[in-house]
A and B are shown apart, each in its own frame.
Chain A
Amino acid sequence: MKKVTTRSFAALILAALIVAGMGIYLFRLARDGGDWASFYANDSVYSGGVINRGAVTDRNGVLLAFSGESAFGYAESADVRRACLHAVGDMKGNIGTGALSAFRSKLIGYSILTGTTGEGGTVKLSIDADLNVAAYNALNGRRGAVLVYNYETGEILCMTSSRSYDPNVGFDADDSDYEGVYINRAISASFVPGSVFKLVTLAAAIENIPDLFEQTFYCGGSLEVDGQRIKCSGTHGTLTVEQALAHSCNCAFAQIAQQLGGDTIAAYAEKYGLTSTHDLNGIETAAGSVESGENSADTAWEGIGQYNDLVVPYSLLRLMGAIANDGVVTEPSILAGKSNGSERIMEAETARTLSELMSYNVEYNYGAGNYPGLSMHAKTGTAEFGDGTSHAWFAGFITNSDAPLAFVVLVEHGGGGYAVASPIANTVLQKAVFG
């Protein structure tokens, strides 16, 4: 009998397994319950496929979207509706990276304790609706994106993507002009970076070419590499590396790229987070790509941001934030007052050198007078296409003590970075700093 008695513990093994299983369930519920509850089939929070509660506001409390049992709507102003469309998203969930989709569990007021039995929640975004409008209007109907964030707190103040549409009106689906309109170009698409990528090549050079600042580079207007002709924007003659960056000299950077090798450049792009996805408050951003080619011509193109280089504006924004912040990137956040932590991605020395050179760009070439009141550090980019058009880029940061802001402006097929993107950046930053 003693044996049988002892062996009855076999039943307790099963009981222990069940307890462990319940532990797994409770862990998953605590981790993913919000996602489960915001599943579209949850009739307790969806009416007709639309969340029936909650609101989204900007950082100043401006209502951007709201939803109730019987009705839902967006911001009052049509300009705000268009400029904030991609940050806010749409009720039908077409814009998957928008707040209405990404923060559903907050909108439905989910908590593990009350489930969805409570009131809906308000999602307060970090963006400033007015700044978004300024940026959107500055893009003036051209495709592109503008991102501005505080590299000390991480809050994204401006995130707009063009083309957009008024969610109260919708758009003509047959109009090819609206193709890809659901995509937030700021975080979900990658583009040829052109010369803004020279900052990555330069960072690699600073750390890998000991006599970089003693070297000079000759630019005769173009450079023959492996039988390919790399054209430059001008004929710059003999240049120091500072001058090479300020003039964005392709010939000089093609030579630097040769010295580094394609793999080193790709490794730095990876190190700086340009080729990976990022987690923006749970929103997964797109990844870029930088790969080294077979011959030295490929390497030269790679080093000047052409070849197969693709960069997501958001990833570039992080890099700008890191350079501004002595190499430590404060992870951006789209939610007001929410910190996402920080991470060192660059040596402090390298960051400071890049920062000085980007400031030199402005003084020496872009003209500080173009950015009144802003202590501007930046780099232009004009990413060329075979068809003669080019993406206009302008990326950088300002070090005004009351406005530590990093920014990225992209205008697709917009022309030159300096001519097209730089004025947009100035417009938006003037508004951000001086109101």
Chain B
Amino acid sequence: MDITEFLFGGSAALLANLARYVVPLLAVLIVVRCVRSMLRERYEPETWAYLYFPGEVMVPLRHWECIVGRQKSADAYIEHPSLEKLHACLIRSADGGWTVYNLGKGVTQVNGRIAAAGGLPIADADVLTLGDVPARFVDLTEEERASLLKYRHMPGRNVRPAGTLLLLTAMQILLTLEQLAYNPRATVTVAVAFAGLCLLQWLYFIVLRASGQRGFEVELLGFFLTTIGLSVAASSVPGAILKQLVFLLAGLALFLFLGIWMRDLRRMKSLRLPALIAALAFLALNLVLAEVTNGAQNWVEIAGFRFQPSEFVKILYIYAGAATLDRLFVNRNLFVFIGFSAACVGALALMSDFGTALVFFVAFLVISFMRSGSFATVFLAVTAAVLGVMLVLTVKPYIVERFATWGHVWDDVYNKGYQQARAMSAAASGGFFGQGAGNGWFEEVVAADTDMVFAMICEELGLIPGLCCVASILVLAGFVVKNASAGRSSYFVIAAAAAVTMMMTQLALNVFGTMDILPFTGVTFPFVSRGGSSLISCWALLAFIKGSDIRARASFAVKRPEKFSGGAGVEDELPPEDAEGEAEGGVL
């Protein structure tokens, strides 16, 4: 209160009221800019090598992982009785080398040597024999490689990330102003927190930009949602708001680490089993140490530090669950994954954390569908889950009670519908533009800033920013699917799809649970809900999404190979930055 009056005198209230209308506008602009930058641009199909079949039939290999076989959906489809449906798999590594894996019962040979499941390296001019069909493997020539680079798409041309970041900064300033004007509990700490967030995002941008990065849409959406989340924290816990900043720092560090770690797929793959074991260990630890909180035993306290293990298990789950093509079609691997998933979902159900269990289950459905491609698998999994749920409900009928209010919130506003009736009331009173950041009453309701945060956004910031938050996550989903079309490794595609699926499931359970469209399960809204574990885990999941971005200089998660093995000398795979990228000019 005092600060704004000091700065702006009597016009503080007027300014805050104006800010109330500008913030939704900025939110729309930010999301629209990210969408334009992410989804508008067309990806050119890339070719990484060729297979020449008898009669000089040429088949281009368009991904880093390709299936060859007698199935129409195979990347290289050959109709010959001696071939299996999924006969072999060709995988290119980041250093440019190719490996062949035999997938089925058929025979695959490279220059007469039989390739087993372990794989055989294959190079330019090698003869690849699939069943009885010989094929010549032809790697890219220097010219082709150069032209590939030339046409590779580079982000940041249509929409400059610095501009979006400036809009976000404006939004942060206005939110600070609103908090100080409206929120009687807000002190200078709130301003410090927003300044810290602002500083952090610019630092991130400048450092990565300086290192040659051009694509920032994914992080910008992350920072946008985090900003909304910071306003939520400023309203509900203005005193402890700096903690959120620390969590963001941790999340951002994990995001960067995971992204860089993902550059080397081989390194990544080598830790899949440890990740699986760590996930199970986390859950086991949780079950043992669990302390009953809010009806769900999902908190663990170690040395005064409280966290939700299930949030970190999400990361490990995806890390261990995604797979490269060579392993994708081995049933044994799929069964291990199903068992692993069942253990995760089961452990969460034991903790009565049904919301998170559902988040995992939906991620499981998506991963298993992408891995097996069979609706039968998904159908089986759903059937098994329904039976499991029915069994649980017969054994513990009191669980049904928890969902009994679903659809009848307004019939029980004094008791079971208490929170949700208030949530809907608060959300409706916000209108399109909100009551103003820090100007709501809903924050006093239990879980307003976590499991019901959508209502709090709608109340204080308005329906427009609320919808922008939802749109942000949906845009990430669209981005992941778009990236998949030119995806190089199935690992990244699967991991990104699983990560965005988890976010969407959380979003759906949060928003629709709050608004009585789905049963209320108590799940956080990605990035926005207050809470350390959740924020850190969301940033880590964002690294998987970032990893699917294959545009030039877009993702730090994709290695920028300076050299090709066997290539002639040093070769930058990237187009020169000044070529046309700077057409718009600009300092940043």
Identify the A interface with B (CB < 8 A): 1-12, 14-15, 17-19, 21-22, 24-25, 28-29, 33-34, 36-37, 39, 41-45, 110-117
- Residue B500 CB within 8 A of the other chain: yes
Contact A1 B497 (CB under 8 A): no
Known: A12-B481, A21-B512. A42 touches B429 (CB 8 A): yes
Give the complex CA separation of A19 and B477 in angstroms: 12
**Which residues on B sit within 8 Å (CB–CB) of A4?**
325, 328, 370, 484, 487, 490, 493-494
| B73 and A10 contacting across the interface, CB-CB below 8 Å | no
Query: In the complex, what residues of A have CB within 8 A of residue B65's CB?
Result: 1
Q: Whole-angstrom distance between the alpha carbons of A35 and B64 in the complex?
A: 56
Residues of chain B with a CB closer than 8 A to A18's CB: 470, 474, 504, 507-508
**Is B75 a contact partner of A1 (Cβ separation < 8 A)?**
yes
A2, A9, A36: the one contacting B67 at CB < 8 Å is A2
Q: Which residue of A lies closest to B425 (CB)?
A: A39
Interface CB pairs A-B, < 8 A, 24: A1-B63, A1-B64, A1-B66, A2-B75, A6-B73, A8-B481, A15-B474, A18-B504, A22-B511, A36-B425, A39-B413, A39-B422, A41-B425, A42-B429, A43-B441, A44-B435, A112-B432, A114-B432, A115-B428, A115-B429, A115-B432, A116-B431, A117-B20, A117-B435
Q: Nearest CB to that of B518 among chain A residues?
A: A21
- Cα distance A233–B301 when bound, in Å? 86
B residues near A, CB below 8 A? 20, 62-67, 73-75, 325, 328, 362, 365-366, 369-370, 373, 413, 421-422, 424-435, 440-441, 462-463, 467, 470, 474, 477-478, 480-481, 484-485, 487, 490, 493-494, 497, 500-501, 504-505, 507-508, 511-512, 515, 517-518
A113: min CB distance to chain B, Å: 5
The answer to whether A3 and B429 touch across the interface, beta carbons within 8 angstroms, is: no
Q: A11, A28, A42: which contacts B515 (Cβ < 8 A)? A: A28
Report the Cα distance A17→B470, complex, angstroms.
12
- Interfacial chain A residues near B421, Cβ < 8 Å: 36, 39, 41
A17 surroundings in chain B (CB, below 8 A): 508
Alpha-carbon distance A87/B425, docked complex (angstroms)? 26
**A11 with B477: CB separation less than 8 A:** yes
Q: Is the CB–CB distance between B431 and A36 below 8 Å? A: no
Residues of B near A111 (CB, < 8 A) are: 431
Partner of A115, one of B75, B435, B467: B435
Query: Distance in Å from the Cβ of B330 to the closest Cβ of chain A?
Result: 15
Question: Which residue on chain B has the smallest CB distance to residue A111?
Answer: B431
Instruction: Determine if B515 and A25 form an interchain contact, defined as CB atoms under 8 angstroms apart.
Output: yes
Are B74 and A7 closer than 8 Å at their CB atoms?
no
Instruction: For B501, list chain A residues within 8 Å (CB).
Output: 10-11, 14
| A-B contact sample (5 more), CB < 8 A, given A117-B20, A117-B433 | A7-B373, A10-B369, A14-B366, A113-B432, A117-B434
In the complex, residue of chain A having the shortest beta-carbon distance to the beta carbon of B499: A11
Task: Tell me which residues across on chain A come within 8 A of B440, comparing CB atoms.
Answer: 44
| Given A21-B508, A43-B441, residue A11 in contact with residue B500 (CB < 8 A) | yes
Q: List, in ascending order, chain A residues with CB within 8 A of B422's CB.
A: 39, 41-42
B64: chain A residues at CB < 8 Å are: 1
Instruction: Select A10's contact among B74, B366, B429, beta carbons within 8 Å.
Output: B366
How far does the Cβ of A30 sit from chain B's closest Cβ, in whole Å?
10
Known contacts A42-B429, A116-B431; A1 and B467 CB within 8 A of each other: no
Q: Are B487 and A5 in contact (CB under 8 A)?
A: yes
Name the distance in Å between A255's Cβ and chain B's nearest Cβ.
49
Contacts known (A8-B480, A11-B497, A112-B431); A19 close to B425, Cβ less than 8 A: no
Can you list the 10 inter-chain pairs with the closest CB atoms, starting with the nearest? Answer: A115-B431, A43-B441, A8-B484, A1-B63, A39-B425, A36-B428, A116-B429, A33-B428, A37-B428, A4-B490
Cα–Cα distance between A154 and B390 once the two chains are bound (Å)? 55
Q: Identify which of A11, A33, A110 gathers the most chain B CB atoms within 10 Å of its CB.
A: A11
* Contact, CB under 8 Å: A5 / B429: no
With a cutoff of 8 Å between Cβ atoms, the chain A residues found around residue B481 in the complex are 8-9, 11-12
Residues of B within 8 A of A28 (CB): 515, 517
Closest to B436 in A: A117
Residue of A nearest to B444 (CB): A43
Contact across chains for A3 and B73 when beta carbons are under 8 A apart: yes
A321 to B370, CA, bound (A): 67
Q: Which residues of chain B have C-beta atoms less than 8 A from A114's C-beta?
A: 431-433
Residues of A within 8 A of B370 (CB): 4, 7-8, 10
* Complex: A29 Cα to B425 Cα, angstroms: 10
Least CB distance from B405 to A in Å reads 16
A43 to B484, CA, bound (A): 48
Task: Determine whether the beta carbon of A11 is less than 8 Å from that of B480.
Answer: yes
Asked if residues B477 and A12 are in contact (CB atoms below 8 Å), the reply is yes
B369 touching A7, Cβ below 8 Å: yes
Question: Bound state CA distance, A9 and B413, in angstroms?
Answer: 40
Q: Evaluate contact between A11 and B366: CB separation under 8 angstroms.
A: yes
Are A44's CB and B480's CB within 8 A? no
B77 CB, min distance to chain A CBs, angstroms: 9
Identify A113's interface contact among B365, B431, B512, CB under 8 A. Answer: B431
- Complex Cα distance A39/B508, Å? 25
Measured in the bound complex, the distance between the Cα atoms of B480 and A7 in whole Å is: 12
Contacting residue for A14 out of B328, B362, B434, CB 8 A = B362
Query: B517 to chain A: which residues have CB within 8 Å?
Result: 21, 24-25, 28
CB-nearest residue of chain A relative to B485?
A5
CA distance A216 to B64 in the complex (A): 101
**Residues of chain A within 8 A of B426, CB atoms compared:** 42, 44
Report how far A4 CA is from B548 CA in the complex, Å: 13
Which of B328, B424, B440, B517 is the most central at the interface, judged by chain A CB atoms within 10 Å of its CB?
A: B424
- Contact yes or no, A15 B477, CB < 8 A: yes
* Least Cβ–Cβ distance between A133 and chain B, in angstroms: 37
Docked CA distance A168–B47 (Å): 85
Contacts of B433 in A (CB 8 A): 114-115, 117
Residues of B within 8 A of A44 (CB): 426, 429, 435, 440-441
User: Which chain A residues border B73 with CB–CB below 8 Å?
Assistant: 2-3, 6
List chain B residues, Cβ under 8 A from A29: 427-428, 463
Closest to B367 in A: A10
A39's closest neighbor in chain B, by CB?
B425
Q: How far is the CB of B575 from chain A (nearest CB, A)?
A: 24
In the complex, which residue of chain B has the Cβ closest to the Cβ of A115?
B431
B500 cross-chain contacts in A, Cβ below 8 A: 11
- Tell me the complex Cα distance, A31–B490, Å: 45
Question: Does the CB pair A8–B435 fall under 8 Å?
Answer: no
Interface centre among A3, A21, A39, A114 (most CB of B within 10 A): A3
A43 to B328, CA, bound (A): 55
User: Which residues does chain A contribute within 8 Å of B373, judged by CB atoms?
Assistant: 3, 7
Contact in complex: B431, A14 (CB < 8 Å)? no
Q: How far is the CB of B487 from chain A (nearest CB, A)?
A: 6
CA–CA, A22 and B434, complex, Å: 18
Chain B's closest residue to A44 (CB) is B429
Q: Whole-angstrom distance between the alpha carbons of A111 and B463 in the complex?
A: 13
Chain A positions within 8 Å of B441 at CB level: 42-44
Contacts of A24 in B (CB 8 A): 517
**Which one of B328, B362, B470 lies within 8 Å of A22 (CB-CB)?**
B470
Interchain nearest-CB distance for A116 vs B (Å): 4
B83 CB, min distance to chain A CBs, angstroms: 16
CB contacts (< 8 Å) of B474 on chain A: these are: 15, 18-19
Q: How far is B365's CA from A17's CA once the two chains are assembled, in angstroms?
A: 15
B293 to chain A, nearest CB (A): 25
Q: With both chains docked as a complex, state the minimum distance between the C-beta of B513 and any C-beta of chain A, in angstroms.
A: 11
Contact A14 B67 (CB under 8 A): no
Residue of A nearest to B67 (CB): A1
Closest Cβ neighbor of B418 among chain A residues: A41
- A143: min CB distance to chain B, Å: 33
- Residues from chain A with a CB closer than 8 A to the CB of B429 are 37, 42, 44-45, 110, 115-117
Alpha-carbon distance between A10 and B496 when the two chains are bound, in angstroms: 12
Across the interface, which residues of A come within 8 angstroms of B369, CB to CB?
Answer: 7, 10
Quote the shortest CB–CB distance from A41 to chain B (angstroms): 5
With a CB–CB cut-off of 8 A, which chain B residues contact A22?
467, 470, 511
A29 to B434 alpha-carbon distance, docked (Å): 15
The answer to whether B504 touches A37 (Cβ under 8 A) is: no
Most-contacted residue by chain B among A1, A10, A41, A115 (CB, 10 A): A1
